[in-house]
Amino acid sequence: MRPIGVFDSGVGGLTVVKELIKQLPNESIVYYGDTARVPYGIKSRETVIRFSIENLLFLLKHDVKLICIACNTASSFALPVIKKHFKVPIVGVLSPGVREAVYATKNKRIGLIGTKGTVKSRAYELEIKQLDPKAKVFSVACPLFVPFVEEGLTSGKVVEEVAQKYLAPLKKAGIDTLILGCTHYPVLKPLIKKIMGPRVTLIDSAKQVAIEIKKILAADGMLKEKGKCRHKFFVSDNPEWFENLASTFLGRDVLNVEKATSDV
């Protein structure tokens, strides 16, 4: 059976892979991390769209049956464009998180943290407003969170001080729901939860994305319900670094990561 394809700007998309493995244990996965060009959050819309198309074409070489864009910036900028040009089902991480946040909030004050690109796109805000026009959205860019995670810095004084500064406006706004609008951020969930307090619900879209993918595959008769599976991991640069950090995301060793060829 054909595998599920997943791509991200780096290692953050492995939070989605972890949920896919949990909820779809019989499915094979091909993952591509564009580690040579991370982060996407500071790139222009046009550049993110170009990178996303190149990543998608790489996954299609592996005969994937569905592609998950496990990057919030790429989901915000590229998904509406590339969906029009490819027949393969393509799922982003934005819509499932939005639906869960709108369902979870009680006071209709929803917070969003993400990259500069994701926040600037206003994609989350616009989609939330479509589902609930009365909802208020408070967005904060957290540009240092991705490099922190990719350097394995998930706790400690420096990380906590930066997180306190980023999250202060959201605490002041009185939100009761916070969307983790970047697939790297779930690794920082314990710290974010500590700062925001128990009354704020954190929305990690990975679980909702996996549920949506399962529904799509079942509806199209492509769900693999038994048999062995194989997970393959590719990066555009530095596979050794990726292998070392991947265990933080998946909770298991990732071996034999391959560097993708230059014609990606």
**Coil, strand or helix at 70:** coil
- Enclosing H/E stretch for 52: helix 45-60
Quick one: 111 exposed, middle or buried, by C-beta within 10 A (0-12, 13-18, 19+)? buried
What mean pLDDT comes out for the span 121-147?
95
The model's pLDDT over 96-126, given as tens digits with 9 standing for 90+, comes to: 999 999 999 999 999 999 989 899 999 999 9
pLDDT range class, residue 264, cuts 50, 70, 90: very low
Catalytic residue list contains 71: yes
Which has the closest alpha carbon to 146: 37, 29, 232, 238? Answer: 37
Q: Where are the alpha helices (DSSP H) in 141-197?
A: 145-150, 157-173, 189-196
Q: CA-to-CA distance for 182 and 12, rounded, in angstroms?
A: 8
Are the beta carbons of 15 and 248 closer than 8 angstroms?
no
> What is the per-residue pLDDT for 140?
98
Between CA 114 and CA 93, with CA 121 as vertex, the angle to 5 degrees is 55
What pTM was computed for the model?
Answer: 0.88
What mean pLDDT comes out for the span 4-14?
94
Q: Is the pLDDT of residue 149 over 90?
A: no
Active-site pick, 68, 142, 182, 229: 182
The model's pLDDT over 81-96, given as tens digits with 9 standing for 90+, comes to: 999 899 999 999 999 9
> What is the per-residue pLDDT for 262?
57
pLDDT range class, residue 58, cuts 50, 70, 90: very high
**Coil, strand or helix at 224:** coil
Q: Could you give the domains of the chain?
A: 4-92+207-259 (3.40.50.1860), 94-205 (3.40.50.1860)
Active-site pick, 68, 71, 142, 229: 71
pLDDT range class, residue 171, cuts 50, 70, 90: very high
Tokens of 4: 């599920």
Are the beta carbons of 53 and 84 closer than 8 angstroms?
no
Percent of the chain that is helix, strand, coil (3-state, to 5): 45, 15, 35
Catalytic residue list contains 182: yes
Q: Is the pLDDT of residue 261 over 90?
A: no
What mean pLDDT comes out for the span 244-264?
83
